[in-house]
Amino acid sequence: MTPLRVLLVDDEALARARLRTLLGDCSTPQAVVAGEASTAAQALALLHSGHFDLLLLDIHMPGMDGVQLAQQLRAQGGGPAVVFVTAHAGHALQAFDLEAVDYLTKPVRLERLQQMLQKVERLANIPPALEPDLTCESLLIHDRGRSERVPLASVLYLKAELKYITVRTAAKSYILDGSLSELEARHASHLLRIHRSTLVARRALRALEKHFDPEEGEGWAVRLQGLVEPLAVSRRQLAAVREALAG
């Protein structure tokens, strides 16, 4: 299989050297450093003159930073997969909002780099016909004598309350009668349990972060695209959430 062609963009030569060494140690898939840049301007010149499968992009750089470069590439369309490499995990949400494939925190670990490369290769090899189709799946909501089908593709999360389930989309909330466990089993490929009372849309996952809950104290929460408030993650589900974000 042809190695992934990687462009390294970081203003620190040592950081680029470390990534170059780690990429050389990766076995499956293989990756080759096809270009290096210390500024966004240099990166743009290389992107216009050559082909790259993956852009490993630092965020803090002089002049145009990594976020601005990613925004410009996104506006242009096409281009390589973008993965942010940063010393600050707090940039994760911003990275996923820019449709980055992944983000790595410095110092980058070989295992995590390998995991990211596998994800990039997997996404590159999925034919459009095999991508998950949510358009034909929906939840039937009965409310005040009216029945409405809510597309599963628009659902951000489902939360079990006392006697019902709240179905939340970006536009509004619905009330659904049913079992959270049954919905999880029926739509396991699309919904992820993050708490005994909460399922979230896997496609909407953007970040996992430290969170303080007045009732439960210090813990973790996820951020979803299209939703302002964080959603609590139980300790029991933490590993599954991390795996879903990484995958």
Pair (119, 149) in one structural domain: no
Percent of the chain exceeding pLDDT 90 equals 42
Domain termination site, one of 108, 129, 150: 129
Task: State which of 106, 129, 152 marks the end of a domain.
Answer: 129
Structure token digits, residue 16: 């680029």
State if pTM tops 0.75. no
The pair of structure tokens assigned to 127 is 């034919």
The tokens of 43 are what? 């990166």
**Tens of pLDDT along 23-42?**
999 987 889 999 999 999 99
Q: Please write the tens of the pLDDT for every residue from 168-201.
A: 998 889 999 888 888 888 888 889 999 999 999 9
Residues 228 and 145 in one domain: yes
- State how far the Cα of 229 lies from the Cα of 65, in Å rounded to an integer: 28
Is 100:83 a contact under the CB 8 Å cutoff?
yes
Last residue of a domain, one of 129, 146, 180: 129
Residues 101 and 148 in one domain: no
Q: How many CA atoms lie within 13 A of 175 on its CB side?
A: 9
Residue 151 and residue 50 share a domain:
no
Residue 8, pLDDT > 80, answer: yes
| 10 and 125 share one domain | yes
6: closest CA among 22, 92, 172? Answer: 22
Q: What is the distance, to the nearest Å, from the Cα of residue 143 to the centroid of all Cα atoms in its chain? A: 34
pLDDT band, residue 128 (cuts 50/70/90): very low
Assess whether 160 and 241 both reside in one domain.
yes
The boundaries of the domain holding residue 35 are: 4-129
Q: Is 208 within 8 Å of 199 (Cβ atoms)?
A: no
